[in-house]
Structure 1
Amino acid sequence: METKAVRAKTDESKTYLSALENLIKENYNSAAFPNVSFPRDDWAKLSEKGVMLSMIQKEFGGRYSHEELCDIIETIAKYNLPLAMYTMIVTALFMRNVTKYGSEELKREVLTRFSSEPLVGGFGLTEPSCGSNMARMKTTFEEKEDGYLLQGEKHWQAFSGTADWWVVAAKNSKNSKDFGYFVVKRSEGWNLVEEYDALGLKAIDYGRSKIDAFVPKYRRLNVTYEGLTGAVDMLCGSRLSMCAMASGFISRVYAETKERTKTRNMGNGVLFDVGYVKYKLKLLAANKTITKALFVYLKYKTDFRAVLLDHFFEAQAIKVLATDKMLESALNYQQLCGGEGYRRDSPSNNAAYALLDSRVYTIFDGTNDLLSQQLAEFCVKESKDGNVVKFLSEFEKTKNGISHINFDLSVLNNNDTQEERVMNGQIISRIFGLQCLEEALEATEKHFEYGDFRNAVLFLNADIKKTIAETEVLKNNCLVCMY
């Protein structure tokens, strides 16, 4: 039975989230808000409403709620996708890692400020010379008597020129297999040397920065994993959060596309009357349901406050599937808006910005091709004998999902080449999506109708069949120009 204390806490949380949503809806809807670097004065208004408090422990002035952060990111994405990314980076990438791995002295220094000031924190990992191979990073740390000297270069970090604080990954200058993570003030030696003009997500600034900073010893995060395992845990938080952004974003895309098709005149009727248009709306509805199911999994089966390494499989699958569906939805939104969808600041739709903002999601935070490959490699390793189909049929996180597939999946056992592993990883992400759909359907709280569930299952099955068909192309090396 629900106690009065639990009810009061739930009511208070709803009031907090409602106030935040009202502020965003009224002031920061991307249909009207300028598509520019997000002003600090406006970040201050959101900070006053507690937008960052969910990843700050209560003793430092926060709320420390995983579920609230999930709801915040999803809600913001419904109104302003770039702002949702902005918020996710500050909370799930910066503050989560300070909270999880920081010393008490560090948390007192940083978290108390973030709970009361409109500060911005970034995450410095990617470098110009190493791409996705983080083991080749050139940024180093050298231990001194009273701290660490950090030197190197980072790029494509969100807030490259504006973040007040950074979590920075670096390699031991004397041991290339030893990696450390440090919290650095921008004023201590983080300097922007080149601004990048990104196609979308204009609320966030990107660029290339040089680091030459000395930090005290207590600013090194207590990450004890070998190699880059610590970075994997840190990135799991942002990858898992992609479904929150996808759920909010696609719910808006679906609503706006449906409204557009019902108001756009064609002959004696409207665009909505066209059969293929209705099929495309079914696709968008399926994507909305799929990403909602992934969101339900994120909210109730994971916890940003915990170590996330045990959720490596889900993080990869969610990032791949959720962001694929974001881009697919944005493309179809633009297509159904016709020429007006190709126009910035169109009075009839937001399709151009929806596409530009969502495009990078399949690239940043690990390109989906690489993450798909890693998904397949994970399953091959866990299967012990290479029988991936058998493994997925028994794996707790996929066995119910695979039961919704009634055709041959033996292609998943062919993982000899890199391209096979990429395609198989794409299939595996869809199987995980089927699992999440079933779990969300059976949840006590109602998230969608049974018809929505069936529609989503059909489209995920179609995705899988399409990828299987594409694997046939791999067997026919007929292009002489490739060899």
Structure 2
Amino acid sequence: MDMIESTGWPKDIEAYLKSHFSALDRSTPQEETALHEFLRLGPLHSFIPTAMGGTCEGPGTYLPVVEMAAYYSLPLGLTLGITGSLFLMPILKHAPVALRDTLVADFLSGPALGGIMITEPTGGTDVFGLQSTVSPSPGGMLLNGTKCWGGLTGRAAHWLVAARKKRGDRLTRSLKLLYVPLASPGVSVDHYFDALGLQPITYGQTSFSDVTVPEAYDLTPPGTSALRVLYDTLFRSRLGISAIASGLCKRIVHECTKRAGERIVFGQPIAGLDQVQFRLATLRGQAQMNHALWHFAGDWMGSHDDLSGDYVLVNAIKVCSSESMTTAADSAVQLFASAAFKRSHMAGRAYVDSRPFRIFEGVNDVLHDNTFVVLAGRYGTVTADAVSRELATFGLRMPEGLPEGTLAALASPPDASQREHVHCGKVIEWVVVLAVMEYMNAQHAMPIDEARLVAQRSIAALIAERDYLL
């Protein structure tokens, strides 16, 4: 098997990360000074185009940096993802020129951070249920509402905030995405949450009370729906999770391979045990899979200006990448055993810190259902033919070597139960991921032998449970 080694990692930034985050048993949250030192090396410059003073020549520039950061520290990788994908990218695409240039200058000159606020105490999945409002005012616009669970709460100085337009006393379904500095009068952090993991990323609740927002801070381009801008932003971020997953899975492969060679049980290294070999092969397959996914995602993002309709591809990559992170961390804990049951151990931290990715930016269960609903809406029904037609829109084709019963499992009537829709969505997503991997193997000779087995086993397991959905 070919273990994919990473390329394109900036050497100066990697040297810093290696010196601070390579210790297996000192995987503790970084101090504020370490974060500032890291940011001053310019990892976020990889999101800013070269024409504006950055180093970005497309997603192929910043995704390796995100992967590298996640390899050494999952919270650092997510910090880059939050600031780069959820703040800088929409600012670069949609902000008025004067605002864009001012913010770019700030990010180029210092350790700035940004984020996005969508979720509210009443929920976040239903964007038309948001209660935050924006209404006209003499000074521009007036923002009111409460947001929660925005990564880097109180820590990032720059924010994008989603709110619904208010006309008189009526709350409309029209959305706006606004730039709101944390220092704006009327913005306050109510409290911070005692988050289960991903320290030192801060999460909490933020209130906006009669915050005046200039018209020039509106990121809704004329003639364009703010919902489309929001979905394009979220979808790009979801695709970027594959780079974070790739970094984590590669680190786990390296650490677990070393562990298996050094840990002696019954007079021999555990690397000689068949079950350990199976776990290591699966870990390598997960690393292969995510490596292929983020390269495909990078190419797709770089060649398409609007991803707001690419639900099926985005859902598949986000779901399978995030789930591979948790299963890889599970295997790492098995291989390190009690040594991993510490807050300071890389495997223990990965076990906790990988979990939220299955609920970030769309709970995976919701995305499974959404995958089915979108296909049913586009093709009238969900069948293997409908999946093939959807794959073709991404330049992909139905994979070869699918487990027996896969094509039948791709069909589910629209009037079936939601659990059947969710189950069908899961199968579709793994088929899409397998199709992406086969494409990358054919076009770029990327090794996928063990990744293919990971996908095939996942599909086969789903088919086996199909008749037992209570």
Do they fold alike, i.e. is TM over 0.5? yes
User: Which shows bigger deviation, 413-422 or 201-210?
Assistant: 413-422
Q: Show the counterpart of 2:152.
A: 159
- Write the deviation string for residues 303-356 of structure 1: whole angstroms up to 9, x where unpaired: 29833225332221110010011101001110121122222325xxx2101111
The answer to whether the 8 A contact 1:70-1:241 is kept is yes
CA–CA distance in structure 1, aligned partners of residues 382 and 123 of structure 2? 33
Match of 1:221 in 2: 219
State which of 121, 124, 136 in structure 1 corresponds to 2:129: 136
The residue identity in structure 2 corresponding to 1:202 is Q
1:275, distance to aligned residue in structure 2 (A): 1.5
Contact 1:29 1:79 in 2 (8 A): yes
**Alpha-carbon distance in 2 for matches of 1:117, 1:470:** 52
Does the 8 Å contact 1:139/1:152 carry over to 2?
Answer: yes
**Which stretch of structure 1 is more off in the superposition, 251-260 or 293-302?**
293-302
SS in 2 for 1:402: coil
Cα deviation, residue 250, structure 1: 0.1
Q: Could you say what secondary structure the match of 2:310 adopts?
A: helix
Report the equivalent of 1:372: 368
What is the CA-CA distance between 1:225 and the residue it aligns to? 4.1
2:60 is the counterpart of 1:64: no
Task: Please say if residues 75 and 201 of structure 2, whose CA atoms lie closer than 8 Å, have aligned partners that are also in contact.
Answer: yes
- 8 Å CA contact 1:125, 1:154 repeated in 2: yes
Q: Which amino acid aligns with 1:173?
A: K
* Counterpart secondary structure, 1:193: strand
- C-alpha separation between the residues in 1 aligned to 2:359 and 2:129? 19
- The 2-side partners of 1:195 and 1:304 are apart by 39
Structure 1 residue aligned with 2:428:
428
CA contact 1:78–1:252 (8 Å) conserved in 2: yes
1:327-342 map, 5 Å: 327-342=326-341
- What's the TM-score once normalised by structure 2's chain length? 0.91
Kindly indicate whether residue 273 of structure 2 is the aligned counterpart of residue 288 of structure 1: no
Quick one: distance in 1 between partners of 2:291 and 2:353? 20
Sort the Cα spacing of 1:470 and 1:98 in 2 relative to 1 into closer, same or farther, 3 A: same
> Aligned equivalents of 2:227 and 2:158: distance in 1?
22
CA offset at residue 130 of structure 1? 2.2
Aligned counterparts of 2:141 and 2:333: Cα–Cα separation in 1: 50
Q: Does 1:455 align with 2:447?
A: no
- Per mean C-alpha deviation after superposition, the further-off stretch among 143-152 and 235-244 is 143-152
**Larger RCO, structure (CA 8 Å, separation 6 or more):** 2
| In 2: Cα distance, 1:187 partner to 1:243 partner | 33
Q: Structure 1 residues 30, 115: CA separation in 2 closer, same or farther (over 3 Å shift)?
A: farther
5 Å-filtered alignment, 1:330-479, equals: 330-346=329-345, 350-384=346-380, 386-394=381-389, 395-396=391-392, 397=394, 400-408=397-405, 409-415=407-413, 416-444=416-444, 446-448=445-447, 453-474=448-469, 477=470
Partners of 1:233 and 1:176 in 2: how far apart?
21
Give 1:216's aligned amino acid.
P
Of 121, 125, 130, which aligns to 2:118? Answer: 125
Match of 1:209 among 206, 209, 214: 206
RMSD value, Cα: 2.1
- One-letter amino acid of the counterpart of residue 453, structure 2: L
Secondary structure of 1:434's aligned partner: helix
Identity %: 24
Q: CA deviation at 1:388?
A: 2.2
Mean Cα displacement is larger for which, 419-428 or 149-158? Answer: 419-428
Q: Which moved more, 1:74-83 or 1:43-52?
A: 43-52
Which is worse superposed, 314-323 or 221-230? 221-230
Runs of 5+ unmatched residues, structure 1: 1-12, 478-483
Q: CA deviation at 1:404?
A: 3.0
SS of 2:332's partner is: helix
| Cα displacement string for residues 171-211 of structure 1 (whole angstroms, at most 9, x for unaligned residues) | 11224211001001111032111111111110201111111
Q: For the Cα contact (< 8 Å) 2:118–2:124, is it kept in 1?
A: no
1:260 aligns with 2:259: yes
One-letter code aligned to 1:128: P
How many positions carry a matched residue from both structures? Answer: 452
1:401 is displaced (CA, Å) by 4.1
Q: Equivalent residue of 2:302, what SS?
A: coil
Aligned-partner residue type, residue 428 of structure 2: I
* Deviation digits for residues 362-407 of structure 1 (CA, Å, limit 9, x no counterpart): 11111111111111222222223x1421122333148534333152
CA distance in 1, matches of 2:63, 2:421: 31
What CA distance in whole angstroms lies between the structure 1 residues aligned with 2:181 and 2:93? 19
Q: Secondary structure at the match of 1:210?
A: strand
Q: CA deviation at 1:253?
A: 0.6
1:179-328 equivalence runs, <5 A: 179-188=175-184, 189-212=186-209, 213-223=211-221, 224-226=223-225, 228-303=227-302, 306-328=305-327
Q: Give, in angstroms, the shift of residue 167 of structure 1.
A: 0.3
Give the letter aligned to residue 211 of structure 1: F
Distance 1:410 1:54 in 2: 44
Cα distance between partner residues in 2 of 1:33 and 1:311: 40
Residues 412-433 of structure 1: CA deviation (Å, up to 9, x unaligned): 2214221112111111111111
Does residue 43 (structure 1) correspond to residue 49 (structure 2)? The answer is no
Q: What is the CA deviation profile of residues 417-476 of structure 1, one whole-angstrom value per residue up to 9, with x for unaligned ones?
A: 2111211111111111111211221234x543xxxx2322222111111112222122xx
Aligned to 1:54: 46
Letter of the 2:341 counterpart = Y
Deviation at 1:169, TM superposition (A): 0.3
Whether contact under 8 Å (1:427, 1:467) holds in the other structure is yes
- For residues 399 and 387 of structure 1, what CA distance do their matches in structure 2 show? 18
Cα distance change on mapping 1:299 and 1:229 into 2, 3 Å:
closer
* Normalised TM-score (structure 1): 0.88
Compute the displacement of 1:244 (Å).
0.3
